[in-house]
Amino acid sequence: MPPVEGQKIAGHRITALGGGVGASRLLLGLYEVSDPAALTIIVNTGDDIELHGLRISPDLDIVTYTLAGIVDPAKGWGIRGETFHALKRLAGYGRANWFNLGDRDLATHIHRTALLAEGKTLADAAELIRSALGVKARILPMSNDPVPTIIESNEGPLHFQEYLVKRRSEPVVKGIRFKGVEAAHPAPGVLEAIRDASRVLICPSNPLISIGPILAVPGVREQLRVRKTHVFAVCPIVGGKSLKGPSDKMLTQLGHDATALGVAKLYADFTGTFVIDPADQALSAAVSTLGMKVAVLPTVMKTRAQKDTLARALLNL
Amino acid sequence: MPPVEGQKIAGHRITALGGGVGASRLLLGLYEVSDPAALTIIVNTGDDIELHGLRISPDLDIVTYTLAGIVDPAKGWGIRGETFHALKRLAGYGRANWFNLGDRDLATHIHRTALLAEGKTLADAAELIRSALGVKARILPMSNDPVPTIIESNEGPLHFQEYLVKRRSEPVVKGIRFKGVEAAHPAPGVLEAIRDASRVLICPSNPLISIGPILAVPGVREQLRVRKTHVFAVCPIVGGKSLKGPSDKMLTQLGHDATALGVAKLYADFTGTFVIDPADQALSAAVSTLGMKVAVLPTVMKTRAQKDTLARALLNL
């Protein structure tokens, strides 16, 4: 990685909540402009799925690979320069191949599955994987308990990955549930990281199926409410469109406004400052009436510079 | 594959017992010169090992890959043109990498492990894998029950793969046991395949740790004795040296003669015809006194033609 331009911003203890690709852009910026050892990331695991007997945690891996500098930059997930020889052979054996599993990536899933079989927790596995890959930030799964996101659709219930990847977000979403979440516990350190952070950042991830599952883990939303003035949420909808993925469509199908204001309503009870893009400045007043401060910052991050700039701006608010 | 020269030899119902690389040369010959649909192969599974949570059956895979025409011809195991990206990453995670697992090969282990987790037997998995790879011969594991070969050595007990691969056959062998074999059952079809064959062939595999485990499965040796006149064993020791692997060294360390005669003594109770190489012709008389016929045939198989020639000769005996 190229050296970071400018000084690191010191003195913060940041806890960020996020999902996969959308979050990882901002997380890379935060990792670059602040002290990574003072950064804790709480990651959605509602997307987790078991395929071919392997435990796959897509969002944990996206965040970890991104901060390790090995992510495929074009896709935003998977490993750079990846090959897919094993997947092709699995397909030859008649196994499902709609979920892309690269050869190097498979090693992560094999390792995680083996660790879990040996009695380690998902958090233990995440910690071992991120440290083996040289990631200095702490990466926590939202919970060690499986909480699969189920999309209730016009085609019946679908695991989120079936909805997103296999069915390309085409089914109409009628409801979302996080199976077993009532009995799930936050992973060790999750509530403490929210409690002890100088800033809590809600990454620009899908509010329904990336941030939503984290909020649904008992105790998380309550802990965020306690820290409301320190919570900064970056809106993932700009000009009525998702920065990434099907957020806009899902919001609309579930009766929410697919706008920054629609997202603001979902976050108002626990967010102190809601960050919107200049494109949505006209919504500032309406967001304010929900009881949040509004900050207007460029939230579209295509380049490394844009990621770092947003990260710096968030820490300087 | 090139077309087979000459007519297929019809009318045989062959059952072959064997291990990995040594056996697969002869098996490829048999597969070529006779009707593959009338060929049943009973394969050693004492070499099986679980690594990284995956169930690995090296001898089953060597035989299957060989007959499928995808084996790495230089090594005699693994898949041709294989890559090792996943293994390298597994090593990066601190996992053992002394056992070579290629990316395509991993798919076989993932598939097998998933099938077993779904309640299939090892024989079911072997059948699904060989048929997916287009192998027309029937490939049976000796048993569905795990019977790991344990080498009692001067370094203590070692799993056979640890002895062979990790420790490169360097420890001194003091004993061999097949853990749990007393309670193991032959896989469905094993005893019947021996009973119903017009010829039973013992492939030129290590008598102690390739053929030995198969013989140790309750009922197998007894069934072979019943068919003694129809049993043809190809000696894996030529001129006092193994055709492949550490057979000679292991025989010596365990107090056997590392000669064709030494092997003949191990097989005399169930073998009707013992096949030795012209290099060992001088041992013919001594082998005969053990109560077996002796056939002298060239048993060194480096080329495809040599494999086919030996296979034809065995069927024409």
Are the Cβ atoms of A114 and B83 closer than 8 angstroms?
no
ipTM beyond 0.85? yes
DSSP helix/strand/coil, B97: coil
Q: Please report residues of A whose CB lies closer than 8 A to that of B133.
A: 92
Angle between helices A103-117 and A122-132 (to 10 degrees): 140
Chain A nearest-CA distance from B167, in A, is 24
Instruction: Give me the CATH number covering residue A221.
Output: 3.40.50.10680
In a domain, residue A169? The reply is yes
Q: Does residue B68 contact residue B135 with C-beta atoms inside 8 Å?
A: yes
> First vs last Cα of chain B: how many Å apart?
27
In a domain, residue B202? The reply is yes
In a domain, residue B269? The reply is yes
Report the amino acid identity of residue B3.
P
Are the Cβ atoms of A85 and B103 closer than 8 angstroms?
yes
- pLDDT given for residue A8 in this prediction: 85
- pLDDT given for residue B6 in this prediction: 64
In a domain, residue B63? The reply is no
In a domain, residue A81? The reply is yes
Residue written as token pair 């030996």: B310
Given a cut of 50, whether residue B310 has pLDDT beyond it is yes
- pLDDT given for residue B5 in this prediction: 55
Domain extent for A255: 14-316
Given CB atoms, is A117 within the 8 Å cutoff of chain B? Answer: yes
- Of A286, A186, A285, A270, the closest CA to residue A230 belongs to A270
β strands within B149-302, DSSP E: 149-153, 156-159, 173-178, 199-202, 231-234, 237-238, 241-242, 273-276, 293-296
In a domain, residue A4? The reply is no
Lowest mean pLDDT among A67-81, A189-203, B2-16, B226-240: B2-16
Given CB atoms, is B85 within the 8 Å cutoff of chain A? Answer: yes
Q: What are phi and psi of B22, to 5 degrees?
A: -60, -45
In a domain, residue A110? The reply is yes
Average pLDDT, chain B: 95
- pLDDT given for residue B76 in this prediction: 93
Question: What percent of chain B stands above pLDDT 70?
Answer: 98
Chain A nearest-CA distance from B138, in A, is 17
- When divided into structural domains, chain A yields a total of 1
Q: Does residue A194 contact residue A224 with C-beta atoms inside 8 Å?
A: yes
In this prediction, the residues of chain A whose per-residue pLDDT falls under 70 are 1-6
Region for residue B78 given its phi and psi (left: phi exceeds 0; alpha: psi -120 to 50; beta: otherwise): left
- pLDDT given for residue B11 in this prediction: 84
Neighbours of B182 (CB within 10 A): 10
DSSP for A193-211, written as a single string: HHHH-SEEEE-SS-IIIII
- What is the tens place of the pLDDT at every residue in B71-90? 999 999 999 999 999 999 99
Spatial separation of the C-alpha atoms in residues B173 and B195, rounded to whole Å? 34
Quickly state the pLDDT bin for B3 (edges 50, 70, 90).
Answer: very low
